[in-house]
């Protein structure tokens, strides 16, 4: 019996060493995909501390473990701080566990604050239980959320919310009822080969509700991602959209700059950094469609009802552009509207 335990322990030790080597190699080979000031040594140490505690880690595919861990690296998330997880799924064909990467709602909040194009002061989520006071709406064109949780409340969940506060003072929010979360779970939640939901859905419905509403709000937030980060974030979701609907953040992919030589004054050559762009002459180029959030729709409707001189003279398109451009509609004056439209080249009011 003692020899069997020693043999199993040795197998586990060797497997962990293989995972460590695979992850270390991947981190060194894909430095360009990692965030600025990323600490690879600390990340590797924390990863190994986490996976040592996973049951049957020796029965996993070491390559899939390293790949899943690397996805946390490109998003600058920490497994040790439980900002993300690796979830084992049994593969009947390989007769081994495969590791899947999944973000936690705390990791979702960190990603938005870390990579959002518009500077974010704070991004957080909350769960509303029976007995809590929760109110949201639009007051004079400005969104507001009031939440007063009942002390030591362990009642049933009735909803969830996410709030994004920008450094310029503006905000966005998204509320979801339990029924809405359950609908997404039923239609899109990932399942294993046995048709079961992940342990997170079964054991932590509150955290999964917060993550779901976080993802919905994040759809309206442009994020500066590279291609590796886009893939990692999408795979870190807890749901799968089978109709190819993109779930989660609206990525702005930053291409790698390339050096292009240009002749100047006959023999002089200057290296110019340009971005590689391919266009198809036969393909119709379509402008990007801006997403309209629930808050922005309400702001536009509120604007249409205003009796101010400048508001009455703005067209519906102008109103939408104004909401997209600033979001601060309450203190707008007739003169300010003129200046704003003039700067945009819009002939809306005179």
* pLDDT digit string, tens, across residues 151-181: 999 999 999 999 999 999 999 999 999 999 9
Per the document, the length of the chain is: 350
Q: Among 22, 95, 5, 18, which residue's Cα sits nearest to residue 59?
A: 95
Pairwise CA distance, residues 48 & 293, whole Å: 41
Q: What is the pLDDT of residues 195-237, one digit of tens each?
A: 778 777 888 899 999 999 999 998 889 989 998 999 999 888 8
Q: What is the pLDDT of residues 59-104, one digit of tens each?
A: 998 999 999 999 999 999 999 999 999 988 888 888 888 888 999 9
Taking the model in full, what pTM does it have? 0.65
Q: Are 320 and 297 in contact (CB under 8 A)?
A: no
């Amino acid at each position: 019996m003692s020899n069997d335990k020693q043999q199993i322990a040795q197998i586990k030790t060797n497997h962990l060493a293989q995972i460590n080597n695979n992850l270390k190699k991947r981190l060194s080979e894909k430095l360009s995909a990692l965030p600025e000031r990323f600490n690879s040594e600390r990340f590797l140490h924390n990863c190994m501390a986490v996976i040592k505690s996973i049951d049957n880690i020796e029965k996993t595919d070491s390559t899939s473990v390293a790949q899943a861990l690397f996805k946390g690296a490109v998003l600058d998330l920490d497994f040790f701080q439980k900002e993300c997880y690796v979830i084992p799924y049994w593969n009947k064909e390989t007769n081994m566990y495969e590791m899947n990467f999944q973000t936690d709602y705390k990791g979702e909040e960190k990603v938005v604050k870390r990579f959002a194009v518009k500077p974010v002061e704070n991004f957080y989520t909350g769960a509303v239980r029976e007995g809590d006071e929760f109110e949201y709406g639009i007051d004079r064109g400005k969104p507001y959320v009031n939440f007063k949780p009942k002390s030591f409340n362990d009642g049933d969940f009735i909803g969830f919310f996410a709030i994004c506060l920008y450094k310029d003072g503006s905000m966005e929010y998204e509320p979801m009822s339990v029924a809405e979360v359950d609908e997404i779970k039923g239609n899109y939640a990932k399942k294993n080969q046995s048709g079961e939901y992940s342990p997170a859905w079964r054991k932590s419905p509150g955290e999964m509700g917060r993550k779901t509403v976080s993802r919905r709000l994040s759809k309206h937030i442009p994020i500066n991602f590279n291609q590796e980060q886009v893939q990692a974030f999408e795979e870190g979701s807890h749901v799968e959209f089978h109709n190819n609907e993109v779930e989660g953040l609206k990525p702005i992919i930053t291409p790698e700059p390339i050096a292009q030589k240009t002749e100047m004054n006959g023999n002089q050559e200057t290296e110019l950094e340009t971005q590689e762009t391919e266009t198809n002459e036969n393909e119709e180029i379509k402008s990007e469609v801006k997403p309209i959030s629930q808050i922005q729709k309400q702001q536009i409707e509120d604007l249409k009802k205003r009796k101010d001189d400048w508001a009455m003279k703005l067209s519906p398109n102008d109103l939408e552009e104004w909401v997209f451009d600033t979001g601060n509609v309450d203190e707008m004056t007739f003169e300010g509207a003129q200046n704003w439209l003039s700067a945009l080249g819009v002939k809306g009011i005179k």
